[in-house]
Chains A and B, each alone.
Chain A
């Protein structure tokens, strides 16, 4: 069975700083997803990573995938308050079963 673990689960950081969220998964997965959730809202897709070495960037967020290490990272560059949210990673298992991590609650202080 696929298990997805994120760390840290909570992160408080200053504006302007860089940080990385880590997503480890336990078995082979051919898709790795990153989502954002604002309080009380639904989930918004950020990235889909398909292959080893894949890197995608959107604004201050960059996601990468290392399938050999079973690790994906979400890197935040020069954080701004608007990026405060909960970030989830998810992996696709067989039969299209998609499993989510517990999420990383990111709080960016002005």
Chain B
């Protein structure tokens, strides 16, 4: 079945540690996205990528890093520079071009900093 897989689903981290969240898709989509959601809040864009080996900062990129070495993978690293990393992280993908439709989302990764 085609879809987006995020792992881990739950993650605990001590302050000062970097952590990497995995996002893999087998939908053959060119574009991939990372969003952060805080309780009772909307989704805020962290990074997005329209094509392999290229990505753009979103509205809250500080303290995060990404890579896009393969079309199907877009991992997000939450660095120790991110001051308040506890949140629900959502990865999404979509087709590009004039016929492009909606974003498809993974199940999310819930990060808690202890």
- Is the pairing of A and B real? yes
Given known A-B contacts A100-B43, A101-B42, A102-B41, A45 and B104 have beta carbons under 8 A apart: yes
Q: Please determine whether A42 and B33 come into contact, CB atoms closer than 8 angstroms.
A: no
How many residues of A are in contact with the other chain, CB < 8 A? 20
Q: With a CB–CB cut-off of 8 A, which chain A residues contact B27?
A: none
Query: B65-107 vs A: 1/0 string, CB under 8 Å?
Result: 0000000000000000000000000101010100011111111
Central interface residue in B92, B94, B102, B107, by most chain A CB within 10 Å: B102
Query: A38-54 vs B: 1/0 string, CB under 8 Å?
Result: 00011111001000000
Q: With a CB–CB cut-off of 8 A, which chain A residues contact B108?
A: 41-42
Q: Please determine whether A45 and B103 come into contact, CB atoms closer than 8 angstroms.
A: yes
Q: How far is the CA of A105 from the CA of B31 in the complex (A)?
A: 28
Q: Can you list 16 A-B contacts with CB-CB less than 8 angstroms, sorted by A residue number?
A: A31-B100, A33-B103, A41-B107, A41-B108, A42-B90, A43-B90, A43-B105, A88-B43, A95-B56, A96-B48, A96-B50, A97-B45, A98-B48, A99-B45, A100-B35, A101-B42
